[in-house]
């Protein structure tokens, strides 16, 4: 399964266009524009599985900086500030990584 099986390619493209400039990425806005915020919890968990590059069950900080590239190969890397902000918003237990429940929290924001 790929992200385009769950999200519209045009919505993904629009979300990536919205955050092209460094330090313009907002997880909440990205989730809204990409259509992720409209997905069920089970669909978000499937998206999480796809985004979890090493299939560890978590998205760690060094994986998170490449978050946009999981949607499109040529997308930019998140800045250190964006990565830390995203991690802080979704890392509920402070262990430095995001589990599937961390990603689903953006559905309700």
List the chain domain ranges. 7-106
**Pick from 96, 68, 95: which is nearest to 84 by CA?**
96
Higher-pLDDT residue of 33 and 90 is 33
Q: How many percent of the chain have pLDDT more than 90?
A: 73
Token readout for 70 is: 């999981």
Instruction: Give per-residue pLDDT as tens, 3-56.
Output: 999 999 999 999 999 999 999 999 999 999 999 999 998 898 899 999 999 999
Query: Residue 50 contacts by C-beta under 8 Å, 6 or more apart in sequence?
Result: 1, 2, 3, 6, 70
If pLDDT is split at 50, 70 and 90, which confidence band does 107 have? low
pTM: 0.88
Which residues does the annotation place in the binding site? 52, 54, 56, 58, 63, 91, 93, 95, 97
pLDDT of residue 84: 94
- Say which CATH superfamily domain 7-106 falls into: EF-hand (1.10.238.10)
Residues of the binding site for Ca(2+)? 52, 54, 56, 58, 63, 91, 93, 95, 97
């Amino acid at each position: 399964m790929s992200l385009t099986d769950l999200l519209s390619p045009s919505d993904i493209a629009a979300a990536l266009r919205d955050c092209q400039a460094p330090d313009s990425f907002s997880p909440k806005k990205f989730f809204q524009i990409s259509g992720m915020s409209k997905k069920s919890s089970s669909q978000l968990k499937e998206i999480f599985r796809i985004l979890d590059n090493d299939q560890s069950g978590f998205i760690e900080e060094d994986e998170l900086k490449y978050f946009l590239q999981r949607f499109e190969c040529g997308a930019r890397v998140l800045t250190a500030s964006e990565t830390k902000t995203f991690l802080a918003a979704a890392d509920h237990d402070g262990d430095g990584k995001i589990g599937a429940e961390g990603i689903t929290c953006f559905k309700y924001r």
